[in-house]
């Protein structure tokens, strides 16, 4: 029987991108795959669109009552998945804005056979970024170097959000004790996997800046990352 796969997609105001992304994922014809959308009560009606998609595709929806942060959205989704008696073999997480190319999902599913978690990396050979200005590139690169140095972890892209987990590996992360509410969730989960001795692999991806909708990036994300990484270092 083919491995069961769940793709987790957090959404907030992604009404234009979500239908395109869902269609592209199911066009891959990966057997035994479902999508779990976690919507933070998007004002633009993304949650309603997700519900409509669930009538056409194997899509489940977690509708939350307010915007609580990316980290909490993922934590809620992962808990929902891992609490199932028939949990998936693999769990993929990716952005809703089409910055992560769904055509690369089969690469993750092939690599995860020999790893505990696979990270999509912009900063290994073959990876890259499209349509970012100089300052955005600088901030991203500097944030990754800072986190890699402070946490002493041999991973080149700690801030990326395109990942694939073995369910049993994700269960060991102990989601209830994670402290990150926002985007630093990506760093904290990978760091915890490393400290647990899980096998972390990186595969090159090309990250393409969104064409539709508004970016969620803001200076607060940089500040949160700086502080949270420092706190993780102090806990060592």
Q: Indicate the pLDDT class of residue 231, thresholds 50, 70 and 90.
A: confident
Q: Are 160 and 185 in contact (CB under 8 A)?
A: no
CA angle, residues 101, 65, 164, in degrees to nearest 5: 30
Q: State the burial class of residue 191 (Cβ atoms within 10 Å of its Cβ: 0-12, 13-18, 19+).
A: buried
Q: Is the pLDDT of residue 111 over 90?
A: yes
Q: CATH code at 169?
A: 3.90.550.10
Q: Which of 121-125, 149-153, 221-225 has the lowest mean pLDDT?
A: 221-225
Q: pLDDT digit string (tens) for 37-50? A: 999 999 999 999 99
Q: Which of 177, 208, 175 is nearest to 83 (CA)?
A: 175
pLDDT at position 214: 75
**Predicted structure pTM score:** 0.94
Q: Which two tokens stand for residue 161?
A: 């959000």
Domain that holds residue 165: 5-234
Q: Please count the structural domains in the chain.
A: 1
**pLDDT, mean of residues 28-57:** 97
Q: Which two tokens stand for residue 199?
A: 């096998």
Distance of CA 24 to the CA centre of its chain: 17
Q: Indicate the pLDDT class of residue 186, thresholds 50, 70 and 90.
A: very high
**pLDDT, mean of residues 69-83:** 93
Q: Is the pLDDT of residue 235 over 90?
A: no
Question: Could you tell me the end-to-end alpha-carbon distance of the chain, in angstroms, rounded to an integer?
Answer: 42
pLDDT at position 218: 65
Q: Indicate the pLDDT class of residue 217, thresholds 50, 70 and 90.
A: low
CB burial of 40-55 (b: ≥16 within 10 Å; e: otherwise) equals: bebeeebbebbeebbe
């Amino acid at each position: 029987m083919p491995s069961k796969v769940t793709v987790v997609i957090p959404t907030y105001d992604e009404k234009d991108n979500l239908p395109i992304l869902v269609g592209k994922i199911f066009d891959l014809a990966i057997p035994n795959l479902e999508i779990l959308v976690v919507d933070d009560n998007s004002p633009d009606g993304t949650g309603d669109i997700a519900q409509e998609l669930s009538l056409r595709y194997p899509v489940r929806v977690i509708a939350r009552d307010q915007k609580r942060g990316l980290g909490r959205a993922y934590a809620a989704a992962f808990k929902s998945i891992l609490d199932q008696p028939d949990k998936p073999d693999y769990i993929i997480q990716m952005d809703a804005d089409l910055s992560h190319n769904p055509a690369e999902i089969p690469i993750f599913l092939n690599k995860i056979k020999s790893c505990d978690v696979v990270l999509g990396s912009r900063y290994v050979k073959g990876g890259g970024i499209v349509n970012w200005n100089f300052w955005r590139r600088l901030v991203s690169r500097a944030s990754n170097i800072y986190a890699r140095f402070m946490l002493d972890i041999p991973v080149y892209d700690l801030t990326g959000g395109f990942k694939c987990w073995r369910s049993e590996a994700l269960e060991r992360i102990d989601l209830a004790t994670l402290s990150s509410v926002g985007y630093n969730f990506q760093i904290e989960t990978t760091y915890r996997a490393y400290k647990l001795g899980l096998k972390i692999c990186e595969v090159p991806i090309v990250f393409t800046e969104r064409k539709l909708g508004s970016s969620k990036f803001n200076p607060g994300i940089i500040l949160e990352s700086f502080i949270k990484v420092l706190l993780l270092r102090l806990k060592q």
